[in-house]
Amino acid sequence: MIKYKLGYGLKILFIGINPHPGSDQRGVPYSNNKMFWYLMIAAGLIKESRETVRDDKKLKYIYENEFQQKYHFGLLNLVDAPTRTAAEVTQKDVIKGRKRILNAIYTYKPKVVCFVGKITYNLFIGSSKSDYGWQPDIDQSKIYMSHFPHRGLASVRIKELQEIYEASD
């Protein structure tokens, strides 16, 4: 099971839709397919090697001990229940998750909140009329909707990560 740790002083709070069962079992978000982590490295947001994040034990150490403390990033999921597909996410869970995400934003005031994927953001706002990029702020946080890490050109995702990182300084 993934343990989420948040604190004050976050540069970026990443919001995923929900954990994949493999990632949940490892206890690290996006560890089933490590593309999220590879993109973070390629964009210069974390100073680790691909070899390091390929190793599940080392990645778990980075996530639990450095992701927030060293890099000032946080990660939450809209829904905590692991599923293989987003279609399995229930509206009841989305409503509970929306409240939890808003509470985290109002409490910890991250500089940027990045919703990972269009489905995640659209479920959060209850609409499908949004597009990638900057969204209306929530409280003191800038909001960004990025592409999902696993599909499409890596260069687009790297550029998005660099853009939100620059906005978090």
Strands 112-116 and 141-146: parallel
- SS3 call for 157: helix
Residue ranges and CATH numbers for the domains of the chain are 12-167 (3.40.470.10)
Q: pTM to 2 decimals?
A: 0.94
* Residue-wise burial string across 153-163, b where 16 or more C-beta atoms lie within 10 A, e elsewhere: eeeebbebbeb
Per-residue pLDDT of the chain (169 residues; tens, 9 = 90+): 778 889 999 999 999 999 888 888 898 988 988 999 999 999 999 999 999 999 999 999 999 999 999 999 999 999 988 888 777 888 898 999 999 999 999 999 999 999 999 999 999 999 888 899 999 999 999 999 999 998 788 999 999 999 999 999 8
- What is the C-alpha to C-alpha distance for residues 98 and 102, in angstroms, rounded to an integer? 6
- What is the C-alpha to C-alpha distance for residues 158 and 5, in angstroms, rounded to an integer? 25
CA distances from 98 to 88, 92, 115, 144, 147 (A): 17, 10, 12, 16, 20
